A and B are shown apart, each in its own frame.
Chain A
């Protein structure tokens, strides 16, 4: 069965420091992997996706994600965190039922402190 796990409920980072939000996956076949962000009182927004190709994927707002097949991970990274990056981050994989349905992780709350 397809699934994703986000092992950290919350990540705390000082502004200007690099950040990492972790995601591990379990899929059959070649993985399609996604990151979404939810700012306070807003709906989710698409950040980036890995379908195939380079293991380092660049997305919106300066975020990138590193695909690691041997570790079945897809960690979200940013070299220098901003206070405005504080949000809830979700990793996702496709639902085998098709129709662009997604299976979301439980989410990781990122808090960036000034």
Chain B
């Protein structure tokens, strides 16, 4: 199993541009998450999904959108990129309720200039 995969690994965006960060998992997990990691701040939850067609906001959803059309895929969309969105983005997945063990992808390092 590949686990959780993310593309791209790195990206530089200009202010106002848009992009989609891709995330795919092959473990048939229902729960998926998007985090951003800023230095010294730990991980902040952006959005999460509990199954295909079901998404909800986390702590820091502004400036982002998600969709979940299949169990495997959970893309994160950045509209009108801003320098404050410079960060490392991680996608994760988890099995059923109560397991709490999350499996993380390798991350996407995004710079907005």
Task: Indicate if A44 sits at the interface (CB-CB under 8 A).
Answer: yes
Partner of B4, one of A9, A43, A94, A105: A43
Partner of A99, one of B42, B48, B107: B48
A9, closest chain B residue (CB): B40
Knowing A43-B4, A106-B42, A107-B42 are in contact, say whether A49-B106 is a contact too (CB < 8 A).
Answer: no
Partner of A105, one of B33, B42, B48, B105: B42
Chain B 3-23: CB-based contact to A (< 8 A → 1; otherwise 0):
010000000000000000000
Interface size, A (range): 20 to 34
Task: Indicate if B31 sits at the interface (CB-CB under 8 A).
Answer: yes
A101 CA / B31 CA spacing, docked (Å): 9
- Which stretch, B61-69, B75-83, B93-101, touches the partner chain A? B93-101
Whether the Cβ atoms of B90 and A94 lie closer than 8 Å is no
- CB A30 to nearest CB in B, in angstroms, measures 13
B101, closest chain A residue (CB): A46
Task: Indicate if A63 sits at the interface (CB-CB under 8 A).
Answer: no
Q: Which of A89-114 contact B (CB under 8 A)?
A: 90, 94-95, 98-102, 104-107
Q: A: which residues have CB within 8 A of B?
A: 9, 32, 34, 41-46, 49, 90, 94-95, 98-102, 104-107
Which 7 pairs, one residue from A and one from B, show the smallest C-beta to C-beta distance?
A: A43-B104, A100-B94, A104-B42, A106-B42, A44-B104, A104-B43, A46-B101
